[in-house]
Structure 1
Amino acid sequence: MFKKVPNYVRYIMTNFLAFFIYAGLFRLIFYISYANLEQASFNEIKTALSFGVRFDIKLSAILIVPLTILVLIFNDRFFTKKACKYVANIYLSLSFLCITLFYFFDFGHYDYLNTRLNASSLRFLSNLKISLQVLIQSYPIFKITFALILLSIISSKVVSLFYKRFNSANNKTATKVKVYYVFFLLLTLSFSIYNSFTHYPLRWSQAFFSKNNNVNQFALNPVLYFFDSFKFRNEGVDIVKTKRFYPAVAKELNLSIDSLNFKRTFSFSKDTLKNQPNIVIVMLESVGVVPMSYFGNPIKTTPKMDSIIKKSTLFSKFYVHKAGTAASVFSSVTGLPDVDGVRTASRNPMVIDQRIIFDQFKDYRKLYFLGGSANWANIRGIFQSNIKNLEIYEEGSYNSEERVDVWGIDDYDLFREADLKLAKVNKTNTPFVAYIQTASNHMPFTYPKQKDSFKPFTDNDISKKELEKAGFDGIKRLNALKYLDFNVGKFLERTKKSGYYDNTIFLFFGDHNTSMHATTNFKKEFDLGIQANHVPFFIHAPKYIQPKVISKFTKLVDIFPTAASIAKTPYTNYTLGANALDSTKTNNFAFIFNISNGEPSLALLKNDFLYSKKIITNEVHLHKLSGESLEDYKNELPEITKSMDSLALGYYHATKYLYLNNKK
């Protein structure tokens, strides 16, 4: 049977297997000499090894693709042309050499910094002479060089041997059979690169599943990890500017100005609360203030949440830092704004390791619920590597697995499944902190024709003119919001029946506003480009805080400090958020990072002003938030402009500093 396989197909698969075995040998060396997994459990090591093998398979498949293209172009003529022989042998020899070099540098890098090789290592090239001296003085460079040469010779000989072996193979295969084998080859390589049975491919963030950093490092493949982190190589820290503008941030957050230090410890009397309250944080997908009827939308879009808000503490001037779901999840969990100008901070492997408040709820069960996969936007890494004993519930974890669209199960089933799990935890008399990430109010806006008391609007109910006046571009977007509103109300009804409503603090926030036209109520924000950032944030906990409206500026990174403070849970805050309910703190501003005309831009809301500054061109604007005029006051009010500039830059540079200096 094997002899019927075309020799060029066997040639490709043999070299693919050789790459995999070669990477596996280096993984074994790393495990024996560097991994330091004495404190890791057997299950952690097994999981890390499983991910590691998958990463090695992915690398092997990627490396073999160029050779596969060459072979398939020439087909049976591949072994008859000398040029093909030389190109193939040179490419494969260089590939093995590159892998060897990567692993050699990776071993040294890990030995030096206890982290796998990544793009930040390129900084050593800026002082090449010093780096070479350190290398020569720290490592047996001559032995390493000899080993490199020896391995290069061996791999080159093996490559030549493979070519000769399959060149001499004389098998005749029918064209139809060849097509089947080629199809199987391409399918195998494609799956090896995708490397997942889920809706998301294998990603670097999946390696960061453990609180034990050594386990996570063992799971990585340094070649893939290097290029995954390469796109973020310029995310450096300007320590001079960080220190220069730090006093402006320190003043707002009541920090010491004597040194660059963001650490604040909070403790509470043991008798403050008899029982430890539960915490449930609900991220409301694509919900801003503009589409909500509570904030004046002419269509009764959110009757359930309107009613809940009236019995809650509402922060009417709450802004997310960056308009995007992944960015908001990252910021709400880490306490740091997402200031990545290319993609999202959650996708940056250099900032995955953070000290966060979510991890500090002692004796609490910690849970994360979403309808789809936690591999989305590499969110898994943010949660799992920073929160000890976190329980992630995602597609494949639920009793109900009716996947309605790309985002997995819909919000009705998500809330139901979350309630069932939380009810079980509550029966154990163990407090919990849960993060529920909704998704139905997102394109493609999937909602049922009817669900319990929910019925969507029809074209007969709402005219196009009414939709346009309310800011909606279509009835599907309106109905998706109405469905989310229904599910929020239904969720609280379930919690009451499940018995944990009274002893739970519910925090609801929008991750960003949905795409809306300009409306009468928020036209100024639309014109200033901050409508997408203005979202609802309300805390529903009748047993713990009285309903009221707080009109000071608050921001996304304030969520967890606020939740921990209400629950009277001792915590240490290392980042930029603050308790939004603490009236003794100034902390009355909001920070926004967005892209303005293709350029990264900072914005700061404070008092009655919006200050904005483009990072590259330094173009500055100062607008009043009140009134209808879009007049620029930067020249008329230079002192306010300067003050807000210092705070905006201080917050921005402090964020970048903490990305790399807030590690566990």
Structure 2
Amino acid sequence: MADVLGIKNRDTALLNFKRILPVVDSVPAMEKPNIVLVICESFSAYKSSMWGNPLNTTPYFNELCKQGAFFKNCFSPAYGTARGIWAIITGIPDVTEFKTASRNPNLVDQHTILNDLKDYEKFYFLGGSASWANIRGVLKDNIKGLHLYEQQDYSSPKIDVWGISDKNLFLESNKVLKKQEKPFFAIIQTADNHRPYTIPKEDRPHIKMRSFPKDTLDKYGFWTNEELNAYAYMDYTYKIFMEAAAKEKYFNNTIFVFVGDHGIRGIAGDMMPKVWTNQSLTLQHVPMLFYAPGKIQPQVIERKVSQVDIMPTIAGLINKPVINSTMGRNIFALPPSSDSDYISNHAFVLDFDRRLIGLVGGKYYYEYSLQTKGEGFYPLTHNNPLLPDEPTEKERSLFRQLTLGYYETARYLLFHNKKTSH
């Protein structure tokens, strides 16, 4: 794993994973840019316009992706919001099989790159309460000086169990951010693209509410019309936020990052190769966008990447040399990749319902059963059976080593990534 993670000064006695992250010369320098990281509830790739879903659920975000660095193959390591937030904040896949790492008192103490950004004010906004899955403990215990905003801190009304609407969450966040005079790192966690899929009455005239028969919904990956319309509402809230932010002075010196917290298991139909449906890659495949007009070149990036790469990549973009002690990479600093490159072109995934771990790498998906020790390879780019010599024995061995290496390294790091003194 040392080669994969770019660890040059290896400490085999202490198993120390610390290394200095490289910065990126190709991104025009910004003067201590602000960061706004939006963690998008249930933003599943195959249900979205960016992958050509004929129901065109996210037209605004699709256009936004054409103006930034859009990663077509980003994966959350595991399913679930708590696991997604954990991977993003710590850079470690949550490989705990029972409940989540955030709920384990022995694991709560974690180092995060966020604390190395000492010149930044840190904010976390969510529309409801942080009192679930011990997320409050993870955030407050590990992010020094964090300003945590919850439902009671806003003037907007509660609409359902998740608190205020996402539209109002974005507008309330913008009210706070526009007043800041120091550089800030703000995380906004959305919730409305989740049952009960509440769309406020005042916003419904702005949404093209649609209703399709069940066979149409099934064909294009949706369970209900309520879910479909929730996607349209999600897209609308992004539009409202970006239009509001564009009017503020902080906008031109801000990097906006959008990423799904996880995907949704379902039938991807003809929109994706069959492995997405049959092996449930729909669970982990999410959009990821880095957006900073005039600063980050518009591009579509096919490389396989992970939520654990987000914090190291942000640190690299703001030209901040930081200590990385976990598993993420600065993905803009990686060498060009191809489908035959598995060392830098991969993402580790888990499916705890089926007790599987796997690797999405190059042109193959590899999965390994923690229960039976069985394994399988599947093509990522077509639906034809693999030939007898696909992949080669060398490739099979590499996939096996990488997958088990990621799993065991994550298990180790969950207990050995204690934060340093503030």
TM-score when normalising by structure 2: 0.91
Of the three residues 246, 250, 266, the one matched with 2:2 is: 250
Partner of 1:276: 32
Q: Give the corresponding residue for 2:401.
A: 646
CA displacement at 1:267 relative to structure 2? 6.8
CA distance in 1, matches of 2:5, 2:167: 39
CA distance in 2, matches of 1:375, 1:251: 39
1:419 and 1:495 in contact (8 A); partners too:
yes
| Contact 2:68–2:289 (Cα < 8 Å) also in 1 | yes
Shift of 1:591: 0.1
Superposition pairs for residues 172-191 of structure 1, below 5 Å? none
Select the residue among 287, 306, 313 that pairs with 2:43. Answer: 287
Distance 2:205 2:292 in 1: 25
Q: Select which of 592, 595, 600 maps to 2:352.
A: 595
The alpha carbon displacement at 1:274 in A equals: 5.6
The residue number in structure 2 matching 1:605 is 360
Alignment of 1:324-473 (within 5 A): 324-400=80-156, 402-425=157-180, 428=181, 430-451=182-203, 454-459=206-211, 462-473=212-223
Alignment of 1:622-641 (within 5 A): 622-629=377-384, 637-641=392-396
1:541 partner amino acid: A
Shift in Å, 1:574: 0.4
- Contact 2:120–2:185 (Cα < 8 Å) also in 1: yes
Offset of residue 266 of structure 1: 3.6
1:398, CA displacement in angstroms? 1.1
Question: Which residue, 56, 59, 74 being the options, matches 1:300?
Answer: 56
Q: 2:322 aligns with which of 562, 565, 571?
A: 571
2:352 alignment partner, SS class: strand
After superposition, residues 504-519 of structure 1 pair within 5 angstroms as: 504-519=254-269
- 1:132-281 aligned within 5 A: 249-256=1-8, 259=12, 260-266=15-21, 273=29, 275-281=31-37
Aligned to 2:375: 620
Pairwise CA distance, 1:526: 0.8
Q: Which runs of 5+ in 1 are unaligned?
A: 1-248
Cα deviation digits, residues 574-631 of structure 1 (max 9, x gap) = 000011111338532100011254xx22101111111111123211112222221355
d(CA) in 1 for partners of 2:90, 2:401? 23
How far residue 250 of structure 1 moved from its aligned partner, in angstroms, is 1.4
Q: Distance in 2 between matches of 1:605 and 1:446?
A: 34
Q: Which amino acid aligns with 2:405?
A: G
Query: What is the CA distance between 1:273 and its match in structure 2?
Result: 3.4
Deviation, structure 1 residue 303: 1.0
What is the deviation of 1:374?
A: 0.8
* Offset at residue 392 of structure 1 (A): 0.3
Relative distance call for 1:255 and 1:296 in structure 2 (3 A) is same
Q: Over alpha carbons, which structure has the higher Rg?
A: 1
Task: Report the Cα offset of residue 254 of structure 1.
Answer: 1.7
1:603–1:612 Cα contact (<8 Å) kept: yes
1:456, 1:482 within 8 Å by CA — same for their partners in 2? Answer: yes
Q: How does 1:100-111 map to 2 (within 5 A)?
A: none
Give the fraction of aligned pairs with identical amino acids, expressed as a percent: 37
Q: Secondary structure at the match of 1:299?
A: coil
C-alpha displacement of 1:463: 3.9
The number of aligned residues is 407
Instruction: Tell me the alpha carbon deviations over residues 60-94 of structure 1, each in whole angstroms, 9 at most, x when there is no partner.
Output: xxxxxxxxxxxxxxxxxxxxxxxxxxxxxxxxxxx
**One-letter identity of the residue aligned with 1:609:** Y
Matched residue of 1:396: which SS? helix
Q: Partner of 1:309 in structure 2?
A: 65
Write the deviation string for residues 74-122 of structure 1: whole angstroms up to 9, x where unpaired: xxxxxxxxxxxxxxxxxxxxxxxxxxxxxxxxxxxxxxxxxxxxxxxxx
Which structure carries more relative contact order (alpha carbon 8 Å, separation 6+)? Answer: 2
Specify whether residues 383 and 284 from structure 1 end up closer, same or farther in structure 2 by C-alpha distance, changes over 3 A only. Answer: same
What are the residue-to-residue correspondences of 1:39-58 with 2, within 5 Å? none
Contact 2:76/2:262 (8 A) holds in 1: yes
AA aligned opposite 2:322: Y
The one-letter code sitting in structure 1 at the alignment partner of 2:218 is E
Structure 2 SS opposite 1:590: strand
The answer for unaligned runs of 5 or more in structure 2 is 337-342
Is the 1:449–1:455 Cα contact (8 Å) retained in structure 2? Answer: no
Q: Could you report, residue by residue, the CA deviation over 1:358-395 in whole angstroms, capped at 9, with x for unpaired residues?
A: 11112111000001111111111111111110000012
CA distance in 1, matches of 2:217, 2:209: 11
Residue 634 of structure 1 and its aligned partner are, at CA, apart by 9.1
Distance 2:94 2:150 in 1: 24
Question: Take 1:630 and 1:509, find their aligned partners in 2: how far apart are those partners?
Answer: 32
Distance 1:414 1:329 in 2: 18
Q: Secondary structure in 2 aligned to 1:305? A: helix
Write 1 or 2 for the structure with the bigger share of helix: 1
Structure 2 residue 281 is the aligned partner of structure 1 residue 530: yes
Counterparts of 1:443 and 1:314, CA distance in 2: 27
Cα distance in 2 for residues equivalent to 1:633 and 1:282: 44
Structure with bigger strand share is 2
Query: CA separation in 2, counterparts of 1:440 and 1:645?
Result: 38
Aligned to 1:193: none
Counterpart among 287, 297, 309 of residue 558 in structure 1: 309
Identify the residue that residue 340 of structure 2 maps to in structure 1: none
1: CA distance between counterparts of 2:351 and 2:266?
Answer: 17
Residue 351 of structure 1: how far off its partner (Å): 1.0
How far apart are 1:517 and its partner, in Å? 2.7
Superposition deviation, residue 295 in structure 1: 0.8
SS of the aligned residue for 2:233 comes to: helix
Amino acid of the structure 1 residue aligned with 2:145: N
SS in structure 1 of the partner of residue 159 of structure 2: coil
- Cα distance in 1 between the residues matched to 2:280 and 2:265: 12
Matching residue within 479, 486, 490 for 2:240: 490
Residue aligning to 1:660: 415
Secondary structure at the aligned position of 1:602 is classed as strand
Query: In 2, Cα distance between the equivalents of 1:376 and 1:633?
Result: 48
- What is the CA-CA distance between 1:448 and the residue it aligns to? 2.4
Q: Aligned with 2:147: secondary structure?
A: strand
Partner of 1:11: none
CA distance in 2, matches of 1:347, 1:472: 31
C-alpha displacement of 1:442? 0.2
Q: Distance in 2 between matches of 1:633 and 1:571?
A: 45
